[in-house]
Amino acid sequence: DVGSVGRTLFRAQIFDSNSERDKVTALLSEEASDLAKRSTYPGVLEGLDLQYQSLRRMLGTNLQEIFTANGLRQLHPEFNYKARFGAGPAVNASFAVEAMKRNMVRCVSFTFGSFDTHGNNYRTHAQNQQELFDMIAKLVRTLDATSHPTKPGKKLSDHTHIMVVSEFCRTPQINLAMGRDHYPNNSALVVSPRFKTNFAFGKTDHDQLLPMPARRFVDGERAVAPPDLLATMLGAFEIDPRKYMRDGEIVKELLKG
């Protein structure tokens, strides 16, 4: 909830002032940076330094006026705030744009719900999907038109990577309640300047029940699995997935050359 995020940024000044808190955060950032320089494995400490820097930017600006639902609707009227299912996610999408535009965060995540159609699937599912895809399209267009905060001449879309996933899918067959139940096979949507564009990888069988093998992995021919997608996202930035993940292989077919 965007309003909750805005409220967490508020700090009373009964016991300390904004400038005092800023000095403490700056000191913590400096210490993390210094420790990273002396560490054999500096990655975690460098990440901590980045978090403290982001915290300083967040607390050093009056963001409560911006990070409210009404404020975001005014800043980004291009999103559909009257959508049947996507009104809340539209606010979250505008929040993501503003947070990146102001160089406050490196990652934003939010959900788009109402897909759990165990009954009456045909009454709501198609409209819900359409609202989701429309919102993603609006988000990409907004990123295309928004300047990057630290890279002159670049747009946010040049350095933003969008991954749309769900924890499960719906069964191909309709149940007795005219709905679809939980199903373990799914697909994902990635919009990234480091991934191939207008490109689909993988397919289902003739009856659209099961995924077909997409390529040969170290454990044999099979479809792409969730760890493979995450490993590929890391590999797109030349990060070794084994440092952070136990499973998953980089699928080079998904990446630009």
Least confident span in 56-65, 156-165, 193-202, 203-212: 56-65
Q: Work out the mean pLDDT of the chain and round it to a whole number.
A: 92
Question: Confidence band (pLDDT; 50, 70, 90) for 148?
Answer: very high
- In the predicted structure, residue 141 carries a pLDDT above the cut 80: yes
pLDDT digits (tens, 9 = 90+) for 18-51: 788 889 999 999 999 999 999 999 999 999 999 9
- Over residues 50-76, the pLDDT tens digits come to 999 988 887 776 676 677 899 999 999
pLDDT of residue 19: 86
Average pLDDT for residues 201-216, to the nearest whole number?
A: 94
| Predicted pLDDT at 176 | 97
Strands 215-217 and 220-222: antiparallel
Q: Can you give the pLDDT at residue 208?
A: 86
To the nearest whole percent, how much of the chain has pLDDT over 90?
79
> Which pLDDT score, from 0 to 100, does residue 257 have?
84
4-8, 129-133, 238-242: segment of lowest average pLDDT: 4-8
Whether 11 shows a pLDDT value over 70: the answer reads no
**Residue ranges of domains in the chain:** 1-63, 68-182, 194-257
Q: Stretch 206-219: mean pLDDT, rounded?
A: 94
Predicted pLDDT at 10: 66
The whole-number pLDDT of residue 81 equals 97
